Amino acid sequence: MSRECAVTVEIHIKTPWPFMSALGNDHVIQDGSQFSSYIRYLSTLLATHSARIKKLCIRANEPAFTAIQRSLIKVPMPLLTHCCITPDGPSPLAPTLINRDAGDPTFIVHSKGDIGDAEGATLYPKLKSLYIHSCPVICAQLFPRNLQTLSLARLPGKARLSASDLRQVLLASEHSLQDLRLPSGAPLDSTALYIMSNVRSLSLAYDTPKELVPFLQSMKVPNLEYFSLKDLTRARRCIRSLYHGVYDASIELLVATLIDNLPLYNLTGLHLGWVRFLPYRRHLNKHAHEWIPNVHNLPIPAFLFRFMSLMTSLETLSMSDPDYPSLFSLNYYPRRTGMVGGTLITPTPVPMLSSLTLEVFNLRLVQKFIARRLVVVESPRRPLTQLRLKMPRNWRSKLRFNLSLVAERIVMADFEYRDRGEESILMEPYE
């Protein structure tokens, strides 16, 4: 390494687990002392040049990953703008970094190791974006101040934040945060009120809808433009079980809380991932909900209709495995009694919608949606500019519709379909 300029360091250590040596892998270090010496040498080399490292990417399996991580956690890196530490190989739980400027200072941690109690504000003074995934940390001490992006995903066991930690973390960047992503089970300090006027993007995930209610009631994001909501319980299920659904009646309470606490009228982008607003159609109780009358007699509950109708500025909507009510609410068209002189007298869900992305596992649902949409196109509704469909490859030929009548631009994307096991490779429960 030259000692005169900032450097980018990329390390990829292929270190299979010990039992892999029995399978004939020629690159397994079978001598533990040899491996330890190698890690010490590598760590010393990095520490020596730590003041010049601007970008650091490490991919390694255990035990290499944990050893390197522990040796570097106390090392200051004043020029560090991008640090990516991930296990070797793809992970369906890895955070997705979207709409991120390449020059943004970013710190990404994805591990099962013990980070320790590093003082982030001192070690990484230029960090603006912090991503932590499945990583046990003492968050209040690790996080620097004045972050612009904070993403916490799937923090298990001892990695889960306490209410006081979360309060300290959020208040430290209350006036600078622009993008906030929190995991399920985020705790609440009931005495705190977070007024985050610069937050433009908010992503939340839940295991049960009601767990988000206290948190939303304590947070004010008046300038919010993008919102993402994901049901992790359904996301973890195999595709086959999604049809018959995991339904939690507290979703109605969550929707009411969103209506009361988020500026829905200001949203331009929305993502709904695996969210189920009603039970499977076969098990619908017609007396349990108030329905919105419509020309197609679609099962659109009043609470969902109000939620969608308040988003009068929404232009971009994406849904992963939507249920009947959420998808068909987009095709809402009132009965004749709801019209005066050909003019709608009831609210219209997402009237400004121009781009729709659907990741679907139910071909029949898509066929019904498109058939209804062809009727809606002839109504006063604004036509779609773009429709993106992500479906299993073998289903594409079965969509026998002229999709050009639904949207000006059609984008078809394939994904691998696997109908086995308890977890799906399609699962992306947190961005």
pLDDT tens digit string along 51-68? 888 777 766 665 666 677
pLDDT bracket for residue 73 (50, 70, 90): low
| Residue 237 confidence (pLDDT) | 58
Lowest mean pLDDT among 137-146, 205-214, 365-374, 399-408: 137-146
Residue 252 has pLDDT above 70, yes or no: yes
| Span of 97-111, 148-162, 341-355 with lowest mean pLDDT | 97-111
The answer to which of 31-40, 196-205, 324-333 has the lowest mean pLDDT is: 31-40
Q: Is 23 left (phi over 0), alpha (psi -120 to 50) or beta?
A: alpha
Instruction: Specify the residue for token string 């004010």.
Output: 220
Show the tokens assigned to 95.
């955070």
Q: What pLDDT, on a 0 to 100 scale, did the predictor assign at position 45?
A: 82
- The pLDDT assigned to 288 comes to 54
Taking the CB of residue 329, how many other CB atoms lie within 10 A of it? 23
Residue 271: what pLDDT?
A: 98
The answer, yes or no, to whether residue 100 has pLDDT greater than 70, is no
Q: pLDDT band at residue 110, thresholds of 50, 70 and 90?
A: very low
Least confident of 116-125, 158-167, 235-244, 341-350: 235-244
What is the structure's pLDDT at 346?
Answer: 63
Identify the pLDDT of residue 196: 94
| % of the chain exceeding 70 in pLDDT | 59
* Half-sphere exposure for 431 (CA within 13 Å, toward CB): 21
The pLDDT assigned to 334 comes to: 72
Q: What is the pLDDT of residue 139?
A: 54
The yes-or-no verdict on residue 87 having pLDDT over 80 is: no
The average confidence (pLDDT) of the chain is 72
Residues 348-372 have a mean pLDDT of 88
pLDDT at 132 exceeding the cut of 80: no
- Does 32 score more than 70 pLDDT? no
Look up the pTM and report it.
0.77
The 10s digit of each residue's pLDDT in 369-390 is: 888 887 765 555 667 999 999 8
- What is the model's pLDDT at position 245? 53
pLDDT of residue 60: 66
pLDDT of residue 117: 42
295, 335 Cβ separation under 8 angstroms: yes
pLDDT at 426 over 60: no
pLDDT-derived band at 392, boundaries 50, 70, 90 = confident
Higher pLDDT, 368 or 96: 368
Instruction: Report residue 420 as tokens.
Output: 């086995």
Q: What is the pLDDT of residue 24?
A: 39
Percent of the chain having pLDDT more than 90? 20
Question: 274, 320 in Cβ contact below 8 A?
Answer: yes
pLDDT score at 350: 92
pLDDT at 256: 96
Contact partners, residue 217, CB within 8 Å, separation at least 6 = 257, 261
Question: Residue 33: which pLDDT band, with cuts at 50, 70 and 90?
Answer: low
Query: At residue 418, does pLDDT exceed 90?
Result: no
